[in-house]
Amino acid sequence: MRTSSTFSVLFWTYSNRTKNNETNVYARITVNGRRVNLSLKQKVHIEFWDPKRQKAKGNNGTSRELNFYLDQTKSNIVRCYRDLKEQGRVVTAQLVKARFLGEDKKKYSMSDIIEYHNDTMACKLSPKTMCHYRTSQKYIIAYINDKYKSSDYYLQDLNYAFVLGFESFLRTYQPNHYQGRIGNNAVMKHIQRLRRMITLSYHLEWIDRDPFVKFKPTLEKKEREFLTSDELVSIVNLNTSIERLGVVRDLFLFSCYTGISYGDIMKLSEESIAVGVDGDQWIMSKRNKTNITFKIPILPMAEDLIKKYKNHPRTQNSKKLMPGISNQRLNSYLKEIADLCKIKKNLTFHMARHTFATTVTLSKGVPIETVSKLLGHTKIATTQIYARVVEKKISEDMKRLKEQLI
């Protein structure tokens, strides 16, 4: 039984369809006796065409150029045939022609890569990171609606102009949940997420080129704000009869003395407390953002706060270590605490983590390698950006250096 397939490519012209003594050149693809014709959009003078050799006669520039084009075309058609065979496809002459013309490939759109990304990355990225991606994706679709008056956009049409247009759109766009426009670094983050999805499209061979090749991100360096010792003490000493402010202050101080972020604090339970290598109690858990394990010895201030809420109704019901409250309300109430403590800084909950890294640890002489481990960082370089060494610590280090040099 014959199982092998036959395949051939030949070039020919319509000798009876000449115009000004020129005729079009065609390719004929034959698979298993069935054939299709393909116009090559090339012309040749009828006297210079050799039907036996399927090439242009002579050695002049025009003939050499056409023959080179025919060689390249045949090579590409053969490659299309071989690719289809390797993919296990039922190869036909029409399918080879479609592959050569790029017509057999699906035209993927922005919604396709968004759906593919979210389906494949949901198990790899943290819920918080996925939430950031969905926000970026919402802005991408809003840009397409605004710029192209469409609900979707083909990936093959992506170019450098699309990227620049998206950047401009973000800089002027005002989301409903923002008080102002999106900041520069936030704009770069949204573009970074778009870039990762488009790179994924490129690796999937959904697109042939990367529209981000010429794009250069412009991040603004910002100092990480933290509380000084005096500002931290003023919050510790704050007396308030308003229960919600008292709870928010305690949560903020718990983060200041543990370095644990809001999302990770909300996950802590009594099971998060274990005996450390020194026999004392430690907090042991995994960062919600990176799934990296962190182990933190419990400082006296943090221990007092844990005891304070051990039998509190809010922790008894939730079975958590500390009372729960939404991040939005938390940051809103911190503004009231800042006013009561006469702190002029824009007090946010994440500033507690900065304060732990600087005022509570680094400025007290704790090595940066230790702080890096406490914060759950995988690289010290991250800690160096995150935890700015305060001027007091620099001064003390320099004084010790001077004493050694004398």
pLDDT digits (tens, 9 = 90+) for 119-164: 999 888 888 889 999 999 999 999 999 999 999 999 989 999 999 9
* SS3 at position 73: helix
Report percent pLDDT > 70 for the chain.
94
pLDDT tens digits for 40-59? 989 998 888 999 999 999 88
Same domain, 97 and 116: no
Identify the domain containing residue 144 by its residue range.
Answer: 110-203
What mean pLDDT comes out for the span 12-18? 82
Measured CA distances, 77 to 4, 7, 65 (Å) = 19, 11, 18
Beta strand pairing call for 273-275 and 55-56: unpaired
Same domain, 303 and 401: yes
**Is pLDDT larger for residue 381 or for residue 25?**
25
Asked whether the predicted pLDDT for residue 168 surpasses 80, the reply is yes
Task: Check if the beta carbon of residue 126 is closer than 8 Å to that of residue 80.
Answer: no
- Two tokens, residue 331: 């940051």
- Two tokens, residue 31: 């698979």
Query: What's the pLDDT score for residue 178?
Result: 58
Asked if residue 224 belongs to a domain, the reply is no
Asked if residue 219 belongs to a domain, the reply is no
345 Cβ partners below 8 Å, 6+ apart?
225, 227, 231, 338, 351
Same domain, 115 and 93: no
Asked whether the predicted pLDDT for residue 221 surpasses 80, the reply is no
Asked if residue 212 belongs to a domain, the reply is no
Find, among 216, 7, 199, the residue nearest to 92 by Cα.
7
Query: What's the pLDDT score for residue 207?
Result: 86
Under the banding of pLDDT at 50, 70 and 90, the label for residue 1 is: very low
Q: For helices 327-340 and 243-256, what crossing angle results, to 10°?
A: 100
> Which of 203, 238, 257 represents a domain boundary (last residue)?
203
Distance, CA of 56 to chain centre: 53
What mean pLDDT comes out for the span 263-274? 92
**Is pLDDT larger for residue 290 or for residue 21?**
21
Asked whether the predicted pLDDT for residue 388 surpasses 60, the reply is no
Range of weakest confidence among 141-155, 186-200, 242-256, 385-399: 385-399
> In the chain, how many domains are there?
3
Same domain, 121 and 260: no
pLDDT tens digits for 363-382? 888 888 898 888 888 788 77
CA–CA separation, 231 and 234 (whole Å) = 5
307 Cβ partners below 8 Å, 6+ apart?
none
Query: What's the pLDDT score for residue 191?
Result: 96
Asked whether the predicted pLDDT for residue 392 surpasses 70, the reply is no
Distance, CA of 36 to chain centre: 45
pLDDT tens digits for 197-218? 999 998 888 888 889 988 988 8
Query: What's the pLDDT score for residue 300?
Result: 94
Q: Looking at this protein, which amino acid is placed at residue 395?
A: S
Query: What's the pLDDT score for residue 189?
Result: 95
- Two tokens, residue 360: 């509570």
Same domain, 395 and 249: yes
Report percent pLDDT > 90 for the chain.
53
Same domain, 344 and 238: yes
Query: What's the pLDDT score for residue 17?
Result: 77
CA–CA separation, 368 and 389 (whole Å) = 9
- The domain that holds 264 is classified in CATH as 1.10.443.10
Asked if residue 74 belongs to a domain, the reply is yes
* Longest CA span, the chain: 103
- Beta-strand ranges (E) seen in 32-162 are 34-45, 49-50, 55-56
Asked if residue 40 belongs to a domain, the reply is yes
Same domain, 90 and 150: no
Asked if residue 133 belongs to a domain, the reply is yes
- pTM above the 0.85 mark? no
Under the banding of pLDDT at 50, 70 and 90, the label for residue 398 is: confident
Same domain, 358 and 399: yes
Query: What's the pLDDT score for residue 287?
Result: 83
Asked if residue 72 belongs to a domain, the reply is yes
Residue 176: DSSP 8-state: T
Task: Check if the beta carbon of residue 258 is closer than 8 Å to that of residue 299.
Answer: yes
377 φ/ψ sector (left φ>0, alpha ψ -120 to 50, else beta)? beta
Asked if residue 257 belongs to a domain, the reply is yes
Beta strand pairing call for 281-286 and 273-275: antiparallel
Task: Check if the beta carbon of residue 38 is closer than 8 Å to that of residue 11.
Answer: no
pLDDT tens digits for 340-367? 999 999 899 989 999 999 889 988 888 8
> Which of 101, 125, 148 represents a domain boundary (last residue)?
101
Same domain, 247 and 389: yes
Q: For helices 184-203 and 160-172, what crossing angle results, to 10°?
A: 150
Range of weakest confidence among 8-12, 195-199, 334-338, 384-388: 384-388
Task: Check if the beta carbon of residue 388 is closer than 8 Å to that of residue 224.
Answer: yes
Task: Check if the beta carbon of residue 358 is closer than 8 Å to that of residue 389.
Answer: yes
- Beta-strand ranges (E) seen in 233-353 are 273-275, 281-286, 293-297
Asked whether the predicted pLDDT for residue 30 surpasses 90, the reply is yes
54 φ/ψ sector (left φ>0, alpha ψ -120 to 50, else beta)? left
Under the banding of pLDDT at 50, 70 and 90, the label for residue 99 is: confident
